[in-house]
Amino acid sequence: MNAICYPTGLYPAAPVQKTGYHRVWIRDNIYTLLGIEAKGHYTVSVKTIHAILDILKKHEYKIDWMIKQPTKEAYRYIHPRYETNGKEVEGNWGNKQNDAIGALLWKIGDLDKKGKFKFRPADKEIVQKLVYYLEAIQYWHDTDNGMWENNEEVHASSIGACLAGLLAVDHIVKVPLHLIAHGEHALRKMLPRESITKHVDLALLSLIWPYKIATPKERDEILKNVEAELVREKGVIRYFEDDYYNNGKEAEWTLGFPWLAIIYKQLGKTNKYKFYLNKAKNAMTEKGMPELYYGETNEYNENTPLAWAESLVKVANG
């Protein structure tokens, strides 16, 4: 995996200026690091997390403001996407993405437990504020735009990411017990559904891996639903009636194949692991892993290679 990296240590979603994918998403960076860590490059991972924390420190007033005066207005939420210089991307485009904050906390806790993370002055302070931020927005029933930047509703994948993040950092900072209890209760009540409008969604795989927050029963139900309803020839659709790059059929996201391969490898189901790994290899292009193929075609979109997809392939091959 040869993902393009900016001097700051941050990664673009894809090396494409035209679509805006040259920008930096918190979530995409976390998932990109998984493939980098699979090669043992933890110093790179730490540099990236430090860079993300530095961006959040620049916008710390927003975190403080939300903690002191909670609101549901989108512009008050922590942005999940930034320009290469750390400036917030302007415009209202579905920027309430609570799972991005959960992902960041989870990765910080994960690196620390592995003895790889180095805290600098004020790092723990901002981590603590992120915990209080999740408390202020009441993440366990907060309507957000979720992993796919959709319409606002309560997403199980967002709740699960936040819960995993809080559990990951409770040895580093103070995590009020009621935040865990609320998250557990809400997640158990919702799963295996993603939301009121979506009974199955590709984002639910995150609760199996990397977060490992789904119970065995929930895991099996999620996998059954995803495989039965979302798997296609060139990728996995995100959810029914997804209109992003829709040509009359939902777009097929390549990252779904290595994601399923990783899960089945960890479950020790070799045949299914090899099946999805082979599907991932067949979806690869000369440029790398595309973001998606147009529904039921061999034509892929311009966001190629997608760093996140490339990362999951690396983990699956590891």
106-146 confidence digits (pLDDT tens) = 999 999 999 999 999 999 999 999 999 999 999 999 999 99
% of the chain at pLDDT higher than 70? 99
% of the chain at pLDDT higher than 90? 96
Give the model's pLDDT for residue 2: 58
Q: Which residue has the tokens 């199955």?
A: 200
> Contact at 8 Å (CB) between 207 and 222?
yes
Q: How far apart are CA 43 and CA 120, in angstroms?
A: 14
Query: How large is the angle between the packed helices 270-283 and 307-317, nearest 10 degrees?
Result: 140
> Contact at 8 Å (CB) between 84 and 46?
no
- pLDDT tens by residue, 273-289: 999 999 999 999 999 99
pLDDT mean over 173-190: 98
Given a cut of 90, is residue 10 above it in pLDDT? yes
Give the model's pLDDT for residue 257: 98
Give the model's pLDDT for residue 87: 92
E-assigned strand segments in 138-293: 252-253, 292-293
Average pLDDT across the chain, whole number: 97
In one-letter notation, the amino acid at residue 192 is: P
User: pLDDT confidence of 92, banded at 50, 70, 90?
Assistant: confident
Give the model's pLDDT for residue 210: 98
User: pLDDT confidence of 154, banded at 50, 70, 90?
Assistant: very high
Give the model's pLDDT for residue 78: 97
**Which residues, 6+ apart, have CB-to-CB distance to 286 below 8 Å?**
none
Domain-by-domain residue ranges, the chain?
A: 1-190, 227-318
Given a cut of 80, is residue 1 above it in pLDDT? no
pLDDT mean over 4-29: 95
In one-letter notation, the amino acid at residue 195 is: S
Given a cut of 90, is residue 90 above it in pLDDT? no
261 — alpha (psi -120 to 50), left (phi > 0) or beta?
alpha
CATH of domain 1-190: 1.50.10.10
Q: Which residue has the tokens 């009974």?
A: 199
Q: Which of 7-16, 24-33, 86-95, 256-265 has the lowest mean pLDDT?
A: 86-95
Q: What is the 3-state secondary structure (H, E, C) of 8-76?
A: CCCCCCCCCCCCCCCCEEHHHHHHHHHHHHHCCCHHHHHHHHHHHHHHHHHCHHHHHHHHHCCCCCHHH
Q: Which residue has the tokens 């559990």?
A: 167
Q: Is 288 helix (H, G, I), strand (E, B) or coil?
A: strand
pLDDT mean over 189-201: 98
Q: How far apart are CA 81 and CA 281, in angstroms?
A: 29
pLDDT mean over 184-189: 98
The pTM of the whole model exceeds 0.85: yes
Q: How far apart are CA 129 and CA 132, in angstroms?
A: 5
**Which residues, 6+ apart, have CB-to-CB distance to 43 below 8 Å?**
none
Given a cut of 90, is residue 264 above it in pLDDT? yes
> Contact at 8 Å (CB) between 63 and 130?
yes
Give the model's pLDDT for residue 287: 95
Q: How far apart are CA 260 and CA 204, in angstroms?
A: 11
pLDDT mean over 74-100: 92
Give the model's pLDDT for residue 4: 86
> Contact at 8 Å (CB) between 223 and 263?
yes
Q: Which of 19-23, 84-88, 246-250 has the lowest mean pLDDT?
A: 84-88
User: pLDDT confidence of 261, banded at 50, 70, 90?
Assistant: very high
DSSP secondary structure of 104-171:
HHHHHHHHHHTT---PPTTHHHHHHHHHHHHHHTTGGG--B-TTTT-SSB--HHHHHHHHHHHHHHTT
Q: Point out which residues pair with 236 in neighbouring strands.
A: 231, 253
